[in-house]
Amino acid sequence: MKSVIVKARPLRCEIIDVPIPEPGPDEVLIKVIYCASNPRDWKAPDHLVPGVEINQGNEMSGVIEIVGSNVYEFRKGDRVAAAHPMQTENGTYAEYSTAPVNTCFLLPPNISFEEACTIPFALCTAAIGFYQRLKIPFPTSPESSRVQTPLIIYGGSSSIGAFTLKLAKMGRFEKIIVVCGSGRPYIESFGVITDFVDYRDCNVVHDLKAALGGKRCFHAVDAIMDGNSFGHLSEVLAPEGARIAVYLPRLDYSCIPASISVAITFFGTVHGQATPISNEVFEEDVDFAYAFFRLVGRWIAEGKMSGHPYEVLPRGLLSVEDGLRMLKEGKVSAKKLIYRVADTPTLEPEYFF
């Protein structure tokens, strides 16, 4: 089968022929219909894990082909979306990929493969940050009906930011303040944001304080982490007891005052991987993901959850290189770049059976 290897400096992709992988006991083998790109897919070979050239894809939707020996809840032919463990073989930029069952969910009939492939990796990361690290009450908790103090989402139109907003919509907050730019129309459509701050206006701290209107804020999500963002948040969060969820474990956050907790969020913890640098293992995230993915399918069926906006690039796996370059150059606003594997010009005829 065809598999895309991501290389760095310069960023480029090579399509190679590899055997179809075998699922482990607690995994499924998925015939990939759509796969999606995430910023880490170019960052990993470039500077996160330099020198390692593998298929970097982590998100997909497709049809189950084979189930592992311990798997009892999925079967061949099931329509699913799934996240593949980061930085491991058999990634999702391929005709077939593997996923552990704790990050795989059945697609209800009301969602397309296109939309579904935008969900697993980004939504799960957002959920880990929101519920597991910031300790926002989960919707099943009696605490979730209590009105929470204001929430700030820095980078509301990013995938992580927008999925966090969808989760926040299920809770109750005094205010939801979002920092964004040209992606505003999309997140405005959620109908839950009380205040917008435009990061391009250079008055972010002033505007955040104005939006808070004197209320103390204990929870912030920083999906941008460009230095300015957590610097700005540090200036407006409550001086004691506040938490910021961040998603780049290797960054230096030492400029954030010690009185603010930095909640480092790393998708890999749902697959038992330790957080880079701080080397923390959150065993509870493995089962959290298992339960969360089952709920996600149900929430989609009920209309409470949906995918991120997306653009399908034209040449299937051959377009992954273009997509990663667009992400690297910061040319992607409020959408995911996705690929239909069957659009790849060089696929073997049997893929299309």
Ligand X SMILES: NC(=O)c1ccc[n+]([C@@H]2O[C@H](COP(=O)([O-])OP(=O)(O)OC[C@H]3O[C@@H](n4cnc5c(N)ncnc54)[C@H](OP(=O)(O)O)[C@@H]3O)[C@@H](O)[C@H]2O)c1
Q: Is 265 one of the binding residues for ligand X (CB under 6 A)?
A: yes
Shortest distance, position 336 Cβ to ligand X, whole Å: 7
Stretch that binds ligand X, among 66-74, 110-118, 296-304, 330-338 (CB under 6 A): 330-338
Stretch that binds ligand X, among 11-19, 69-77, 158-166, 287-295 (CB under 6 A): 158-166
Contact criterion met (CB below 8 Å) for 30 and 120: no
Specify the residue for token string 């760095």.
8
Q: Is 139 one of the binding residues for ligand X (CB under 6 A)?
A: no
Query: Could you give the string, one character per residue 76-115, with x where binding to ligand X holds by CB under 6 A and - elsewhere?
Result: ----------------------------------------
Specify the residue for token string 């405005």.
188
Measured distance CA(163)–CA(168) in Å, rounded: 9
**Residue ranges in 118-137 that form contacts with ligand X under rule CB under 6 A:** 122, 125
Stretch that binds ligand X, among 67-75, 164-172, 223-231, 341-349 (CB under 6 A): 223-231
Q: Alpha helix (H) ranges present in 101-212?
A: 113-116, 120-127, 159-169, 184-188, 204-212
**Residue ranges in 289-328 that form contacts with ligand X under rule CB under 6 A:** 327
Residue 33: DSSP 8-state: E
**Residue ranges in 178-197 that form contacts with ligand X under rule CB under 6 A:** 179-183
Stretch that binds ligand X, among 12-20, 135-143, 218-226, 283-291 (CB under 6 A): 218-226
- Of residues 100, 86, 105, the one with CA closest to residue 291: 105
Give the strand pairing for 12-17 and 2-7: antiparallel
Q: Tell me which amino acid residue 306 is.
A: S
Contact criterion met (CB below 8 Å) for 37 and 327: yes
Judged by DSSP in three states, 193 sits in coil
Measured distance CA(18)–CA(89) in Å, rounded: 11
Q: How many residues bind ligand X (CB under 6 A)?
A: 31
Q: Is 160 one of the binding residues for ligand X (CB under 6 A)?
A: yes
Q: In the chain, what's the furthest Cα-to-Cα distance? A: 64
Shortest distance, position 17 Cβ to ligand X, whole Å: 29
Shortest distance, position 98 Cβ to ligand X, whole Å: 19
Q: Is 334 one of the binding residues for ligand X (CB under 6 A)?
A: yes
Q: Is 165 one of the binding residues for ligand X (CB under 6 A)?
A: no
Q: Is 56 one of the binding residues for ligand X (CB under 6 A)?
A: no
Shortest distance, position 190 Cβ to ligand X, whole Å: 14
Q: Give the residue with the Cβ less far from ligand X, 67 or 126.
A: 126
Query: Could you give the string, one character per residue 232-251, with x where binding to ligand X holds by CB under 6 A and - elsewhere?
Result: ---------------xx---
C-alpha distances in Å from residue 301, one per residue of 41, 107, 138: 30, 8, 19
Q: Is 157 one of the binding residues for ligand X (CB under 6 A)?
A: yes
Out of 96, 230, 266, 292, name the contact with ligand X by CB under 6 A: 266
Out of 90, 159, 234, 319, name the contact with ligand X by CB under 6 A: 159
Give the strand pairing for 195-198 and 79-83: unpaired
* Residue ranges with strand state E in the chain: 2-7, 12-17, 27-36, 59-67, 79-83, 96-100, 104-106, 151-154, 176-180, 195-198, 219-222, 243-246, 261-264, 310-313, 336-340
Out of 3, 98, 132, 158, name the contact with ligand X by CB under 6 A: 158
Shortest distance, position 57 Cβ to ligand X, whole Å: 13
Written as six digits, the tokens of 139 are 């919707």
Residues of this chain that interact with ligand X (CB under 6 A) are 38-40, 43, 122, 125, 154-155, 157-160, 179-183, 199, 223-226, 247-248, 265-267, 327, 332-334
